[in-house]
Amino acid sequence: MSDVLADTNVLVRWALAHDPLGEVARRAVERLLRTGATVYVCPQNLTEFWSVATRPTSANGFGLTPARTAEEIDRIEGMFPLLEETPEIYSQWRQLVRTAGVSGRQAFDARIAAVMMVHHVNGILTFNIDDFRRYPDITMVDPHGVPEAAPAPDQVPE
């Protein structure tokens, strides 16, 4: 399997042991790493992660404290390589939102797609497949469907 970017919805579930989809997210990441794929994150993911993690549960968040959220982001940054911000990302994002007719909250997913395009990462590991269908150069990978694979040397996290 090729390299992928982990969508925010996967990162949140990967990090939070009590989430019902947490095991699915962790197993998908592990299986991808066993194939030799690299699983990336980007600053946009981490910003969204902070927002969801610190938002109260009554507002569809996870209700974590800022301190606990910072610890989880530190753990994510230690596990997954970060795709850096570049000036080209904004230009790519502007082109995507215009050509794909993006509106509302979909602008955040368009920004993630722009990061992927600029860094030539074609796959996204996401529970929300429909959020990325409009981008023909991106392959959506559902965590439920990541097949088992034989381990590649030095690719499985401890």
User: Tell me: the pLDDT tens digits for 110-134?
Assistant: 999 999 999 999 999 999 999 999 9
Length of the chain: 158
**Is 78 a residue whose pLDDT tops 90?**
yes
Contact 95, 89 (CB under 8 A): no
Nearest to 135 by CA among 144, 126, 143: 126
User: Tell me: the pLDDT tens digits for 26-56?
Assistant: 999 999 999 999 999 999 999 999 999 999 9
Strand ranges (E), the chain: 4-6, 39-40, 123-125, 139-141
Q: What span, in angstroms and rounded, lies between the C-alpha atoms of 44 and 50?
A: 10
Please give the average per-residue pLDDT across 140-145, as a whole number: 94
- Backbone dihedral region of 118: left (phi > 0), alpha (psi from -120 to 50 degrees) or beta? alpha
Instruction: Name the helix (H) or strand (E) containing 94.
Output: helix 87-99
Please give the average per-residue pLDDT across 77-93, as a whole number: 96
Nearest to 12 by CA among 1, 30, 24: 24
Q: What span, in angstroms and rounded, lies between the C-alpha atoms of 37 and 1?
A: 6
pTM of the model: 0.89
Domain spans, the chain: 4-84+121-144
CB atoms within 10 A of CB 65: 10
Of all residues in the chain, what percent carry a pLDDT higher than 70?
A: 93
- Topology of domain 4-84+121-144 in CATH is Rossmann fold (3.40.50)
